[in-house]
Amino acid sequence: MTASGKFTAACVQMRAGCDVAANIAAVSALVSEAAAGGADLVMTPEMTSLLETKSEALFANTHDEKDDAMLAALRGLAAEWKIWLLIGSLPVKLSATKLANRSFLIAPDGVVAARYDKIHMFDVDLAGGESYRESRNFEPGKQAVVADLPWGRLGMTICYDLRFPHLYRALAKAGADFLTVPAAFTRQTGAAHWHMLLQARAIETGCYVFAPAQGGKHQCGRETFGHSLIVAPWGEIVAEAAHDTPCVLLAEIDTTRIAEARGRVPSLGHDRAFALPAIKPARQSS
């Protein structure tokens, strides 16, 4: 699909807690605010329904897709407002021991148009004792996803995927005009890398990048960076939440800027095969 025309995009920034019902109420109000403000495409952050660090509580409040209360509520809201709605991600139960970190694209009739399971797991140890092991509870996805919107094609990713540029290049080569990066970036990593990574992914692909984020001090004790962003294909930030509190970020998207950026630097068509140097075995000490 070729991108054409203009539309209004909205990033919902929120601060999800451990109470799914409270999160449904909070995000529903923000999505409705965005739709009432003229948004055609509304996007929520990673872990929209629940931000929980304790495995037992996480599993106790996670369900099969067909029984997920947040998914049902937001499908209804998309149909009510006649909008495209990207649910950044929800934890979805796969088995007694594993979940999926799954993003959903909902069409204006409330039907699920596409699903994407987060591929790259956030297993890191940060300075100051912060430690995360996403793979302990979540099964990594194996399939990249693009989906058609009325204005072009959407490539779906989630949070830590942002650090793997080959995924975004592959999505752009598969026809993506827009890239979604719903996130719950830590405050530490967000302050260091959030803006530059999102701008780099836009510049490398000539895509618009939409990054709705979690922000602030959460009920579970985790701190996230906020600063939801919309980045244009040439790398300019066209809209930013200048804080970490819940809000709605709106921007008009001009799809002609995609072809313009790719025409100026057509790097997506300039890939060349290359060989890597042979890896020499390490010297053994005597």
pLDDT of residue 156 exceeding 60: yes
pLDDT of residue 30 exceeding 90: yes
Of all residues in the chain, what percent carry a pLDDT higher than 70?
98
In terms of pTM, does the model score above 0.85? yes
Residues whose CB falls within 8 Å of the CB of residue 52, separated by 6 or more in sequence, listed in order: 18, 58, 61, 220
pLDDT of residue 161 exceeding 80: yes
pLDDT of residue 281 exceeding 90: no
**5: left (phi > 0), else alpha (psi -120 to 50), else beta?**
left
223 is catalytic: no
Sign of CA dihedral 39, 45, 242, 160: negative
Strands 6-13, 41-43: pairing kind: parallel
pLDDT the model gives residue 2: 61
The band of 162, judged by pLDDT with boundaries at 50, 70 and 90, is: very high
Query: 11, 56, 98, 159: which one is catalytic?
Result: 159
pLDDT, the chain, mean: 95
Closest by CA position to 205, among listed 254, 241, 246, 162: 162
pLDDT of residue 186 exceeding 80: yes
CB atoms within 10 A of CB 103: 27
Mean pLDDT is lowest, of 9-13, 154-158, 242-246, for 242-246
84 forms beta bridges with 41
Which has the higher per-residue pLDDT, 285 or 212? 212
46 is catalytic: yes
Mean pLDDT across 69-83: 98
pLDDT the model gives residue 131: 74
pLDDT the model gives residue 129: 74
Q: What is the DSSP string of 229-251?
A: EEE-TTS-EEEE--SSS-EEEEE
- 139-154 pLDDT, tens digit per residue, is 999 999 999 999 999 9
User: How far apart are the C-alpha atoms of 227 and 128, rounded to whole Å?
Assistant: 22
Query: 46, 52, 207, 247: which one is catalytic?
Result: 46
pLDDT the model gives residue 127: 79
Enter the tokens of residue 105. 């694209």
220 is catalytic: no
pLDDT of residue 90 exceeding 90: yes
Mean pLDDT is lowest, of 5-14, 29-38, 117-126, 191-200, for 117-126
- 110-128 pLDDT, tens digit per residue, is 999 999 999 999 888 887 8
- 33-56 pLDDT, tens digit per residue, is 999 999 999 999 999 999 988 999
For each of the domains in the chain, give its residue range(s) and CATH number, in order of start. Answer: 6-265 (3.60.110.10)
Three-class SS state of 184: coil
Query: Contact 171/179 with Cβ under 8 angstroms?
Result: yes
pLDDT the model gives residue 122: 87
pLDDT the model gives residue 285: 59
Closest by CA position to 187, among listed 143, 128, 235, 116: 128
Residue with tokens 């979805």: 92
pLDDT the model gives residue 284: 64
